[in-house]
Structure formats: C-alpha cells, structure tokens
Amino acid sequence: MKKMIVLAVVTANLLAVSATSYAAAPKKIFVEDKQIQSDVAPIIQKGRVMIPIRAMTDSLDASVSWNQASKTAIIRKWSEAVKLTVGKNTAYYEKAGQVNQMTLDVPVKIINNRIYVPLRFLSQFFGYQVAANGEAVFVHSPLSQHEQEILYRGDLAEAREMAMEKGPKSAHFVHKPIRSTKEIEGFETTFLFPVGEANRFFLISDNTVSFYELQDDFFAITWQAHIPVGQKDTLELFLENKITNTMGNKPKIEGFFFHRTSGHMTSTNIAAGKIARDGTIITMGIKRIVGGEVTEESGSLALQLSGEVRLDAVESTPKIIGGTEIKSVTKEQLKKVTSRMTYEEVVGILGHGKDIGSGLFIIEYEYGGQQFTLNFTSYDGLITEEDYKEIQKLIAV
C-alpha cells in the first residue's frame, strides 16, 4: 500500500507539468536566481519551452548520459532518473524507488545538432517549481522564502516543526531507497535532532531509520538502515547501533533531542526529551490520548530542550535578482500587471528594476519621468494593494 501511495503522488505531480503554454520563447530563464547561460536561445514547440539539454542539466546540478545509437538521454539527480528519447512522447522514470512512464506533450528534439528538452517537465520532475510570465521563466526550490527563513534562521522549535512536516513529505533519496520489511504493531515515529540543530535529523519509522539533511533548499535522505525489530525498543536498538542493510554513510552524532509518537488505533502516546552522549534516554514530557481524550500529561513536549541554543542557523543571504539601474517601463507593460501577480510574474513583465537594498523585495522603476518602487513581502509574495493602485494612477495620466 505504501508503494502505491508514493507512486500515485509522483504520477500526479508529473501530470501537472503541462499546465502552462507559451506563445513565444522567454528571453531569460533563471534557475535558483541564476540566469541560464547558453549560446543558443530556447525555442517553443507546441506551446512548451524547450532548452538545450546541457544548459538545463548543469543548472539543475544533474548529470546526463547520451546514447547516440538509440538517440536516448538519461538525466539523473540524487537516485532519480528519467529517460527521454528523441521523437518519442513517452518518458520512463525512476523516482522514490518506483519505475513508471508518462506521456509528454512534446518529445525531445534535435535541432542544429543540439538536443532540446522540455524545461517545465524536467524541472518539476526533480521537484522544482516553475513560474513564468512574458519574458522570463523562474525555476526555484519548492520552499517559499518564508519557509527558508524559518528553516535557516528561525526559532529552533519552529524550524524543527517545519522540518518534521516538510522532510518526510518531500525528501529525495540520494541512494536507492530501502523499505520497511517488517511492520511493528501499531504505529511509531521517532525524530532525533542533533542538539542545537533543526535541518538534520534521524527518523525511525517501523523497522527503518533514515537520515534527512536540508541541502540546497531540498530535503535529502543521505543514509538508511534496517533495525531488527523484536528484541528491544527500536530507539534503544538504534542507539546501540543494532542496524543492518545500511545504505550510505552514517553520520557520527552524539547527543539528541527526541520527539516520539506511538500508539494503536484508539490511543496515542507522545514523548519528548534528551538522549545523552552515552545513550541514556531522559524523558522530559509525556502525553497519552485515548479515544480522543487526554488521560495523562506531564512535563514539556516543546520541540526544544530547556536552555537549548540553535547552532545551525546560517547568516541571511537574500536572493538578489534586481538590477543596479532604475529601469524605464512603458504603459503597455504596466497595463499587463494585475493585482494578483507575484514578484516573479511582475518582474517577468517589467524586467529587473533597481534593487534598492532589501534584496529581492523592493525594486525601483521609472515611468514617464517619475520613479516608483514595488514592495514584496517574499520571493513568492503578491504585489501590495498600495503599489497596484499607484500603477493604476500612473497609467491613468
């Protein structure tokens, strides 16, 4: 059942890639805020943006192998791979340990000895989001600016809560995934965070333990193993290094904050606490729920130990796409801006105005001899109501 669910989610995500059609090739394509550099421009085929394969894979930090005889390209990132054949509308892929195929809107093409691949399909296959409007296409991680702020620089407990939600749902397997071979009775999930950290953790589920890391705005599973269920509690066995079938290199970490949820159909047990360097488990809080009612509760279940300080926060490095010169725009461009457009969509129409010191979020333009600024609360935030009204005043003159 678990494999079927994973496969259904993967297929559903890939089927969404055909939602946008293009009338003209974009003038600029940005991947994680860096413009793709290529000596040939992208093209449009049946409303889909096609881009030279090497420029695309280099920008996504993926690898590509080419079989000249079969005219087939295999593109790989993490343990995931997709096989595309020139002139064929079928893509074969392996993702999360599942193998399947899907139909493409437009096949790979060779034009002037260059191999062109569909930009949106390839980007979204590897988990990137794609936004486009007019002259520009933006390919970026699935994490919003707000989510990145929390994960990289936010409160430790809040960052851990987000990592516990995002990691298991969206992580990519760096190595071939291993699956649970024996389910324990009921359910049990244990998160183990290194003391002071939020973006790395072990997750024990059934008889499998996985290590998650946030890498370049994506959660990746870099190590896995099986735990021989039956003799002791899975957490105790893991702490004693009683593991088998390892995949990858296990990180050496001493001292954890743990959060555990277990139970059966009508009861749930929640516990949190500390695991000392010698492996001693110190429970700081517990909660027991039976039939929807709390029957026992004591201590603290906060996702942070008393006095624990965050150690893995990184300095703010805001994404800067803005230019260095105030850009003049036309009335025709301003008329295309709507009140529900994001930063990416507005910049796709108006171009990159001058960034005035707040990184991505405040950019400056000029129209009819008058300068104006546009303010955005985040990378994927909407234009403010005040700024939209100002634009309407400008074009009404």
Q: What is the pLDDT of residues 300-342, one digit of tens each?
A: 999 999 999 999 998 754 444 444 456 788 888 888 888 888 8
pLDDT band at 238 (very low <50, low <70, confident <90, very high): very high
DSSP code string of 71-96 = TEEEEEETTEEEEEEBT--EEEEEET
Q: Which of 66-70, 318-322, 348-352 has the highest mean pLDDT?
A: 66-70
Where is pLDDT greater, at 373 or 378?
A: 373
- Residues with Cβ within 8 Å of 68's Cβ and at least 6 positions away in sequence, in order, are none
Report the DSSP pairing between strands 208-215 and 256-263: unpaired
Q: Is the pLDDT reported for residue 10 higher than 80?
A: no
What is the model's pTM? 0.74
Range with the poorest average pLDDT among 79-83, 109-113, 182-186, 369-373:
182-186
Listed in sequence order, the residues at least 6 apart from 110 whose beta carbon sits closer than 8 Å to its beta carbon are 71, 86, 116
Best CA proximity match to 178, nearest among 233, 85, 247, 239? 247
The CA angle 129-97-240, to the nearest 5 degrees, is 110
Length of the chain: 397
Is the per-residue pLDDT at 136 higher than 50? yes
The residue that leads in pLDDT, 187 or 95, is 95
In this structure, which topology does domain 2-140 adopt according to CATH? Copper Amine Oxidase; Chain A, domain 1 (3.30.457)
Instruction: Round the CA-based radius of gyration of the chain to a whole number and report it.
Output: 25
Q: What is the pLDDT of residue 100?
A: 92
Taking the domains of the chain in order of start, what are their residue ranges? 2-140, 146-299, 327-396
Choice between 353 and 348, residue whose per-residue pLDDT is larger: 348
Cα–Cα distance, 14 to 72 (Å, whole number): 20
